[in-house]
Amino acid sequence: MSFETITLAIADQVATLTLNRPDRLNAFTSKMHEELRAALEQIRAPGTARCLVITGAGRGFCAGADLSDRQPSNDGGAPDLGLSLEQNYNPLILSLRGLEMPLVAAVNGPCAGAGMSLALACDIVIAAKSASFLQAFCNIGLVPDAGSTYFLPRLAGRARAAGLALLGEKISAETALDWGLIWKVVDDAALMAEAGAVAKKLANGPTKGLALIRRALDQSWSNDLATQLDVERDAQRIAGRTQDFAEGVAAFLQKRPARFQGR
């Protein structure tokens, strides 16, 4: 399937989804959301991929929403931004978090607004040294969305989340790393190689077990200890019955690398 605003490449069980509007710093439009939904349906198909990498074309990751793409309301008044979230951004974030595979964001430049939300929705965020992160919403009188008010305080703590959201100041990749928002910072030229190596390791890993890890970590944010211990018990019960667990034990006993099949 061909796309206009994104590209999708799948090789060796790694899906690489590239936001492809470099002239607009890959800002979201209704068309892009439509194509992202189609791409995620393709990625979700059984046997298609075991890891997803998200990046941006050109000099940026994603500048957030394209403000020129706004449509007036039916009565000619201000656009209903809540409807845009309900129809596009919220389903996108939920769809990504619902994938049964790890998500890697390769942030190659400016990462702002809903673009930053998209990156934070991924499991592992690797940023180029030239990357920057910006909660731009307050600068135009809006509220952080697409999951930012959920991810920010959990990753960076309330004080830093409040500073980012209320002041709208840009931070560097190194600061984002220091604040616990991202996993790693690398030289610009090494970004895609590093992201590719991480994605390859994840795609060759025990996919069902990795999906259970993602789910348990997500659930831990709202559970008390006793409830989370039950989550771990239930997840371990499922993981212990997978072929990959049997292979992992066999490889350990035989002192050889495990050959996981994602089953």
Instruction: For 17-67, give the secondary structure using H, E and C.
Output: EEECCHHHCCCECHHHHHHHHHHHHHHHCCCCCCEEEEEECCCCCECCECH
- Tokens representing residue 211 in the block: 């999906």
Q: Domains (ranges, CATH) in the chain?
A: 6-203 (3.90.226.10), 207-253 (1.10.12)
Q: How far is it, in rounded angstroms, from Cα 57 to Cα 23?
A: 9
Distance, first Cα to last Cα, the chain:
27
The pLDDT value recorded for residue 149 is 96
Q: How much is the pTM?
A: 0.93
The pLDDT value recorded for residue 257 is 92
Residue ranges, the chain, pLDDT below 70: 70-77
Burial class (CB in 10 A: 0-12, 13-18, 19+), 104: buried
CA angle 100, 149, 182 (to 5 degrees): 60
The pLDDT value recorded for residue 22 is 96
The pLDDT value recorded for residue 72 is 59
The pLDDT value recorded for residue 170 is 97
The pLDDT value recorded for residue 74 is 60
The pLDDT value recorded for residue 73 is 58
The pLDDT value recorded for residue 105 is 98
